[in-house]
Amino acid sequence: MLLNILIIMVGALYWYLTGHTVPVYIGLALLVSLYSDGLYFVSLVIAAIAISSIIYFFWADLYSYGASEETLNYGIGVIYMLVLFLKAKSIFNADRRLLN
């Protein structure tokens, strides 16, 4: 439950600071896909796409925009990627709890 709240909070902060909406929408799609029982692989793919889109926006910001708030944008992007990774990793922990 804590990771769900973190995805929403950090996603909103990422959206506010960087102005990029695509990783936030994909992160929210990750939350929705985790509530169904059979979509574990789809959830992993969605998490990988979200993390890849953040990395793409790092590259796009580096070459197309000025470097005014570059450190803040990279910092919140790394935090958002970490939260998405931990949420995707929790899929395996949930499977392990179900098997025991």
Q: Containing domain of residue 73, as a range? A: 2-94
- Give the span between the Cα atoms of 76 and 73, in whole angstroms: 5
Query: For the chain, what is the domain count?
Result: 1
Answer yes or no: is pLDDT of 95 > 50. yes
**For the segment 12-49, what is each residue's pLDDT rounded down to a tens digit?**
888 888 888 888 888 888 888 776 666 778 878 888 88
Q: Please report whether residue 9 resides in a domain.
A: yes
Closest CA to 28 of 3, 52, 8: 8
Who has greater pLDDT, 42 or 94?
42
Q: Please report whether residue 99 resides in a domain.
A: no
**For the segment 50-93, what is each residue's pLDDT rounded down to a tens digit?**
888 888 888 777 776 655 567 777 888 888 888 888 888 887 77
- pLDDT on residue 26: 87
- pLDDT on residue 94: 63
Q: Please report whether residue 52 resides in a domain.
A: yes
Q: Please report whether residue 100 resides in a domain.
A: no
Q: Please report whether residue 6 resides in a domain.
A: yes
Q: Please report whether residue 19 resides in a domain.
A: yes
